[in-house]
């Protein structure tokens, strides 16, 4: 029997409880022992709930219970989650989490702490919701040098963009829908402004390239600037608008990482990733391109990945899983604005102004606006050529 404590009973925490109850036979079989939830840390009481008696408001009850070998941290955010994770690891308990903010900010330090205390810090659910990606990257693709990793890493924004594309829904209605379905973060700004993708691409970069990438090192744009007009024009160009996180390992050893809306060509598999689904492409030097696809958010898909880590922690209770990377540094980061590609530009500028900056580019005319596609160039050159033009949108185009 393995005793587990769950910290936090929000969407993911309650999903973990549900999955452990619902699939107890299969879980016990995989873990080769029964997994029992012994404590739940929550801010309020749950009178009448079947787990009422497991609930405590005092973390030290969990910290000081030697039976608890695995702690599931589903509090989210940094403050309490960081403190309780450290205290659990120091007490020789493995910690399993879906908390991408904590892993992206303190992952290196927490993995070190886990190693020093002979336990594991596992976070499969932190990226891609229910999609297996952390384990495949750290184990199955370990024979490759990863050259690039990119994809749709946020279910909420992909849901919003898909609803805008397919059903012409407004941004606000689609966001409300995503919130009601339990996809969005507690503060949906983290989804809409791209911070959630930023945290996830930091984790994927660290796993792929072996050095911690911190969120403040990643240029991050969200989807607030995307309008129905852009979605319509993108369609005319054979593309779809997608929010991508992208990380490239350059030949010189530096890492370029950024988050931004892109026009993705219909031929790219990522273009057909719709709704709450996430899609991640990993480019390895031996395997070529591999794509991971599945439910990127939601209670049970995320809980599925958390519980898989609990099982793994149970099976490795006195062994360490190989999961680590080195600390990061500003010197290893390449300025992503120097990456070159074609750009989609929507502007109210006159034809002559556009021609002066970009030559003979083909123009599509909308209501008082024009759109055009630039030749391949970096962001600085683009801004230089745009000069004083009034620009409503400028997005990278991914073939
Ligand atoms: N808010 C996140 C999303 C949840 O929409 O993808 C999963 O990380």
What is the domain-level CATH number for residue 139?
A: 3.30.360.10
In a domain, 34, yes or no: yes
Specify the number of domains making up the chain.
Answer: 3
Task: Please state, as a whole number, how many other Cβ atoms lie within 10 Å of the Cβ of residue 279.
Answer: 25
In a domain, 382, yes or no: yes
What is the atom index within ligand 1 of the atom nearest the CA of 153?
6
Judge if 144 and 285 occupy the same domain: yes
Judge if 108 and 229 occupy the same domain: no
Q: How far apart are CA 386 and CA 374, in angstroms?
A: 11
Judge if 45 and 143 occupy the same domain: no
Judge if 237 and 315 occupy the same domain: no
User: Which residue owns the Cα nearest ligand 1 atom 4?
Assistant: 297
In a domain, 335, yes or no: no
In a domain, 112, yes or no: yes
Pick the last residue of a domain from 308, 330, 352: 330
Q: Which residues contact 164 (CB under 8 A, 6 or more apart)?
A: 170, 171, 174, 226, 228, 231
358 alpha carbon – ligand 1 mean position (Å): 38
Give residue 324's pLDDT.
86
Judge if 306 and 389 occupy the same domain: no
Judge if 288 and 141 occupy the same domain: yes
pLDDT at 213 over 80: yes
> pLDDT band for position 194 (50/70/90)?
very high
- Cβ-count burial 134-147 (b if 16+ within 10 Å, e if not): bbbbbeebeebebb
Judge if 285 and 144 occupy the same domain: yes
Determine contact, residues 276/130, Cβ cutoff 8 Å. Answer: no
Judge if 284 and 313 occupy the same domain: no
Q: How far apart are CA 185 and CA 200, in angstroms?
A: 13
Determine contact, residues 18/303, Cβ cutoff 8 Å. Answer: yes
The residues that bridge with 72 in the sheet, in sequence order, are 6, 96
Q: Is 245 in the pocket of ligand 1 (CB under 6 A)?
A: no
| Domain CATH for 33 | 3.40.50.720
What is the atom index within ligand 1 of the atom nearest the CA of 158?
5
> pLDDT band for position 170 (50/70/90)?
confident
Q: Is 159 in the pocket of ligand 1 (CB under 6 A)?
A: no
Which of 130, 154, 305 has most ligand 1 atoms within 8 Å of its beta carbon, as the pocket-test mutant? 154
Judge if 200 and 91 occupy the same domain: no
Residues involved in catalysis: 200
125 alpha carbon – ligand 1 mean position (Å): 10
Judge if 52 and 125 occupy the same domain: yes
Domain assignment of residue 386, given as a range: 340-397
Judge if 14 and 96 occupy the same domain: yes
pTM: 0.96
191 alpha carbon – ligand 1 mean position (Å): 7
| Domain CATH for 368 | 3.30.70.1140
In a domain, 10, yes or no: yes
- What is the per-residue pLDDT across 112-144, written as a single tens digit (0 to 9) for each? 999 999 999 999 999 999 999 999 999 888 888
What is the atom index within ligand 1 of the atom nearest the CA of 159?
5
Q: How far apart are CA 134 and CA 171, in angstroms?
A: 31
Mean pLDDT of the chain: 95
Judge if 146 and 289 occupy the same domain: yes
Determine contact, residues 68/38, Cβ cutoff 8 Å. Answer: yes
Q: Is 155 in the pocket of ligand 1 (CB under 6 A)?
A: yes
């Amino acid at each position: 029997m393995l005793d587990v404590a769950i910290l936090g009973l929000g969407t993911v925490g309650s999903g973990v409880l549900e999955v452990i109850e619902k699939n107890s036979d299969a879980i016990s079989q995989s873990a080769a022992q029964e997994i029992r939830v012994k404590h739940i840390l929550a801010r309020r009481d749950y009178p009448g709930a079947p787990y009422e008696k497991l609930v405590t408001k005092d973390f030290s009850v969990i910290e000081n219970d030697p039976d608890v070998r695995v702690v599931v941290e589903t509090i989210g955010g940094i403050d309490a989650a960081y403190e309780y994770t450290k205290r659990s690891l120091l007490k020789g308990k493995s910690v399993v989490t879906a908390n991408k903010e904590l892993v992206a900010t303190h992952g290196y330090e927490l993995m070190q702490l886990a190693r020093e205390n002979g336990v594991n810090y596992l976070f499969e659910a932190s990226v891609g919701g229910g999609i297996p990606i952390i384990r495949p990257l750290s184990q199955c693709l370990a024979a490759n040098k990863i050259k690039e990793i990119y994809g749709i890493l946020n279910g909420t924004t992909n849901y919003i963009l898909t609803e805008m594309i397919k059903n012409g829904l407004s941004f606000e209605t689609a966001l409300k829908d995503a919130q009601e379905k339990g996809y969005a973060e507690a503060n949906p700004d983290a989804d809409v402004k791209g911070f959630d993708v930023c945290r996830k691409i930091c984790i994927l970069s660290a796993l792929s390239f072996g050095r911690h990438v911190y969120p403040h090192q990643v240029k991050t744009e969200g989807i607030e600037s995307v309008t129905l007009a852009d979605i319509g024009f993108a369609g005319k160009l054979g593309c779809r608008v997608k929010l991508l996180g992208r990380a490239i390992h350059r030949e010189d050893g530096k890492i370029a990482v950024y988050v931004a809306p892109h026009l993705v060509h219909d031929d790219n598999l990522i273009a057909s990733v719709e709704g709450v689904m996430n899609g991640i492409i990993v480019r390895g030097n031996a395997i070529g391109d591999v794509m991971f696809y599945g439910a990127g958010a939601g209670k049970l898909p995320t809980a599925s990945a958390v519980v898989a880590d609990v099982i793994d922690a149970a099976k490795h209770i006195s062994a360490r899983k190989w999961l680590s990377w080195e600390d990061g540094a500003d010197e290893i980061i390449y300025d992503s604005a120097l990456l070159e590609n074609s750009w989609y530009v929507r502007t109210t500028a006159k034809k002559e102004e556009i021609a002066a900056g970009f030559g003979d580019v083909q123009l599509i005319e909308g209501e008082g606006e024009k759109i055009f596609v630039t030749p391949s160039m970096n962001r600085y050159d683009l801004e230089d050529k745009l000069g004083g033009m009034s620009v409503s949108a400028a997005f990278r185009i991914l073939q």
